[in-house]
Amino acid sequence: MSKTLSCLIIFSFLFTGCASTEKLDKNTAEGAFALGQKFEKEERYEEAITYYSEVKNKFPYSRFATESQLKIADIEFSRENYPEAEGAYKLFKEFHPNHARADYVTYRLGLSVFNQLPPTIDRDLALATTAIDYFDQLIHSYSSSEFVPKATEYRAKAQKMLADKANYVADFYFIREKWQSALGRYEDLMHNYPNLGYDLPALYRATISAYKMKDLDRAKTYFKKLLADYPNSKELAKARSELSDGF
């Protein structure tokens, strides 16, 4: 292929692209929305948001206005701007609670919050509770949604992080022999986060904490549960060796 012919083909392609863009009337809701879609597809996100915002602000009663609002939220999520995505999805959910894609919006809202969680449990995990709340909304209000399995999975991850944090704090006090603080947190751990891997160690340490602080009634209650539920555990053997004779 000659150099001249190659240049003509490239010029023709660029001209066609420009011409198709020029045909879109940015002064109409449909045209501005189409331009937003075009720039979004090209990953020119700032320009896409500009046009979607134009639709939302200039044509608030157009059917494209609602879709533009959702598109902006999706772009922020795609760019991993999760606080901005959270705000956009939340606003959409408040204004359009009965939208056909309300399940998707609720799922993305939960995921936007989840993705803001810190990587380690020694930091503030308050957002985990918020994420769980949104996933619960999806699971209970849109039980047939295609997003329920994934929401359930992320909910379990958030719940496990909270359990890990609760155990981390309880162990902090136990190691330092702050028995009352440790006991309260092990009790919360057993009550709020069952079946997440901490039932047995929390029960053992609750028994020891209660015994050390001379709350013998509680210590006996937990020891009996340890004996009944985990008769062959090493934790039971350790508890027997640490408690006084006749306990």
pLDDT at 215: 96
pTM, to two decimals: 0.84
SS percent in the chain: helix, strand, coil, step 5: 75, 0, 25
CB 34 within 8 A of CB 24: yes
The domains of the chain are located at 24-77, 80-162, 177-247
Residue 61 DSSP one-character state: T
Per-residue model confidence as pLDDT tens digits over 98-156: 999 999 999 999 999 999 999 999 999 999 999 999 999 999 999 999 999 999 999 99
Q: For residues 162-171, give the mean pLDDT.
A: 98
Q: How far apart are CA 25 and CA 138, in angstroms?
A: 38
Q: Is the pLDDT of residue 73 over 70?
A: yes
Four-residue CA torsion sign, 72, 42, 50, 23: negative
Q: Quick one: angle between helices 148-175 and 126-141, nearest 10?
A: 150
Q: Is the pLDDT of residue 159 over 90?
A: yes
Do 80-162 and 177-247 fold alike per CATH? yes
- CATH number of this structure's domain 177-247: 1.25.40.10
The yes/no answer on whether domain 80-162 falls in CATH 3.40.50.300 is no
